[in-house]
Structure 1
Amino acid sequence: MKHSDESDGYIRTINTISHKTQLYLNNQLKDLGLTSSTYFFILKVGDSGELSQDQLFKLIYLNPSNVTRRLNRLIKLGYISKEKSAVDGRSKIIKLTKLGYQNYEKLKERLPQINNSIVSALDRDQLVIFKQLMAKMEARLDGLL
């Protein structure tokens, strides 16, 4: 049984940390009407000013139907607008609305505190090592995909 427990140890641990991070993020962003699965859209569109839907697909590691579903949720909340591109009529341009921009500003203020809370158990040296290890793992996974 012990071998079975350890066969997925890293995967299980990464998934558990990811799930708990999402729960914490959901709790911290609830008053903005955002979740761990939607905040990134507001952040990226706000950082860019506007993005085509194709650019957004490339920034986010989700299939297009999931991206579209989350965008539609943000449109219903009044945070994002989607319109046809003036340059390419087939392309959709994603922009923040006034309300979306207000939440983007709040999000930018809040994210550093949320990030720090998540890693506060690590000292400065551990945090440097953690960042290096995460970068290595991400690069390796990029190579596997």
Structure 2
Amino acid sequence: MENIYEELGRWISILYRQFQIYINNELKDLDIKSGEYIYLIKLYEDQELTQEDLAKIYYIDKAAITRSIKGLEDKGYIKRTRNERDKRSYSIKVTEKALRVKKRIYNALKDWDDLIASDVKDEDLKYMSNKLKEMSIKALSRDQ
């Protein structure tokens, strides 16, 4: 029998890669990539964040966030302005262009959820999510 952790990792990896392919295809005409949409989603929710905020929320290094934010800014989806509280950082907000595609992004995400989890009970999804969160926190804690 295969190692259960190897098996779990393989299926998580497959699901993640398939989602990236899906979201890239669904948002291709908007020129929004799988590595960018997550920042728009968080900015829709919180209205204004800094790159440091995003790094803490997603546990992604600042260099990767900088590349994605620069791409979104170049495409007109976000605007960066000097942070009033900390002149060394920038506040990030979505633009009108981003607000016009918000529903489209959320619909793509809902369609994906419907595709992969339509026959999965909500309590099972909550259980899996909680367990993956617990495992992720343990993995993150090893670096501290």
Provide the residue aligned with 1:133 in structure 2: 128
Post-superposition offset of 1:78: 0.7
Post-superposition offset of 1:123: 4.0
Provide the residue aligned with 1:62 in structure 2: 60
Equivalences for residues 31-50 of structure 1 within 5 A: 31-50=29-48
Deviations for 1:79-116, whole angstroms, at most 9, x for unmatched residues?
A: 11111012221121001111122122432344222321
Q: Secondary structure at the match of 1:88?
A: coil
The size of the alignment, in residue pairs, is 138
Provide the residue aligned with 2:101 in structure 1: 103
Distance in 2 between residues matched to 1:78 and 1:101, nearest whole Å: 11
Distance in 2 between residues matched to 1:142 and 1:123, nearest whole Å: 24
Q: Secondary structure at the match of 2:27?
A: helix
Distance in 1 between residues matched to 2:28 and 2:51, nearest whole Å: 25
The range that moved more, 33-42 or 104-113, is 104-113
Q: Which runs of 4+ in 1 moved over 3 A?
A: none
In structure 2, give the amino acid aligned to 1:112.
Answer: K
In structure 2, give the amino acid aligned to 1:116.
Answer: D
Distance in 1 between residues matched to 2:86 and 2:128, nearest whole Å: 41
Provide the residue aligned with 2:7 in structure 1: 9
Distance in 2 between residues matched to 1:106 and 1:20, nearest whole Å: 19
Question: Is the CA contact (8 Å cut-off) linking 1:21 and 1:118 kept in structure 2?
Answer: no
The alignment's C-alpha RMSD in Å is 1.8
In structure 2, give the amino acid aligned to 1:103.
Answer: V
Which of 99, 114, 117 is matched with 1:116 structurally? 114
The TM-score normalised by the length of structure 1 is: 0.84
Question: Is the CA contact (8 Å cut-off) linking 1:79 and 1:97 kept in structure 2?
Answer: yes
Question: Which sections of structure 1, spanning at least 5 residues, go unmatched?
Answer: none
Deviations for 1:26-46, whole angstroms, at most 9, x for unmatched residues?
A: 112222221221111111112
Provide the residue aligned with 1:81 in structure 2: 79
Post-superposition offset of 1:144: 2.9
The TM-score normalised by the length of structure 2 is: 0.84
Distance in 1 between residues matched to 2:116 and 2:43, nearest whole Å: 24
